[in-house]
Copies of this chain bind each other. A is one copy, B any other.
Amino acid sequence: MALRHAVLAVLLDGEYSGYQLTKIFDVSCSNFWYAVPQQLYAELTKLERAGLITGRQVIQHDRPNKRLFTVTPAGLAELAAFAAVPSKPSSIREDLLVMVQAVDRLDPAPVIAQLEERAVIAAAKVELFDRMLRQLRGDLTEEAFLRESDRIGPYLTCLRGRGFEQENREWCERVAALLRARAPVPG
């Protein structure tokens, strides 16, 4: 029941179409939730039927028409209710960690390769988050922005995403180097 609230939280920033949402859930929102387009469109339909968002048709001549959605007061109330009930912590759920858990009994080469590749991906995400953070705070310092802005939620979740990826990167690099040192692999 939480994709619903993730969609509502993102729609607080303004009107978006389903297609735009898929883009947001691919990048900026990916620091706290991910969903494929089909899920998002389905969720938007449900949310509208429940009266938590409203859509309005926008006729476009240069490309297919679209529908833009906004959160209704009922939707905001739903979010408030969601925020009021204690949430359960979620843990990491990562295939790569399963492989590392078993690495002593397997050929380490493919695991090392994946760790190194993942470190690069994580580093790229850190940079992406850094760019997003800079853009969000404009020319204010982080401290000033967090004190004065009236829209810090996205910045804060972005900070968490950055921290996660940074930690991820460091761990991947360390483990890859370590496994490489233990069992030197050609190539």
Binding site for B on A (CB under 8 A): 2, 5-6, 8-10, 12, 29-34, 76, 79-80, 82-84, 86-107, 110-111, 114, 117-118, 121-122, 146-147, 150-154, 156-157, 159-161, 163-164, 167, 170-171, 175, 178, 181-182
Cα distance A79–B101 when bound, in Å?
Answer: 11
Indicate if the CB atoms of B5 and A95 lie closer than 8 Å: yes
Closest Cβ of chain B to A87, distance in Å, is 4
Indicate if the CB atoms of A102 and B153 lie closer than 8 Å: yes
Cα distance A10–B161 when bound, in Å?
Answer: 29
Indicate if the CB atoms of B97 and A83 lie closer than 8 Å: no
Indicate if the CB atoms of B106 and A95 lie closer than 8 Å: no
Q: What B residues does A8 contact at CB under 8 A?
A: 102
Cα distance A9–B76 when bound, in Å?
Answer: 44
Q: List 20 A-B contacts (CB under 8 A).
A: A2-B95, A5-B99, A8-B102, A12-B105, A29-B101, A31-B91, A32-B94, A32-B98, A76-B105, A87-B95, A88-B95, A89-B121, A90-B94, A90-B95, A97-B157, A103-B153, A104-B150, A104-B151, A156-B178, A160-B171
Cα distance A99–B31 when bound, in Å?
Answer: 13
Indicate if the CB atoms of B87 and A9 lie closer than 8 Å: no
Q: What B residues does A87 contact at CB under 8 A?
A: 94-96, 99, 114
Closest Cβ of chain B to A95, distance in Å, is 4
Indicate if the CB atoms of B83 and A102 lie closer than 8 Å: yes
Q: What B residues does A110 contact at CB under 8 A?
A: 83-84
Q: What B residues does A107 contact at CB under 8 A?
A: 80, 83
Indicate if the CB atoms of A171 and B153 lie closer than 8 Å: no
Task: Pick from B84, B100, B160, B170: contact of A157, CB below 8 A.
Answer: B100
| 10 pairs of A and B residues whose beta carbons are closest in the complex | A32-B97, A87-B95, A9-B102, A9-B101, A83-B99, A101-B153, A163-B167, A84-B110, A103-B153, A101-B157
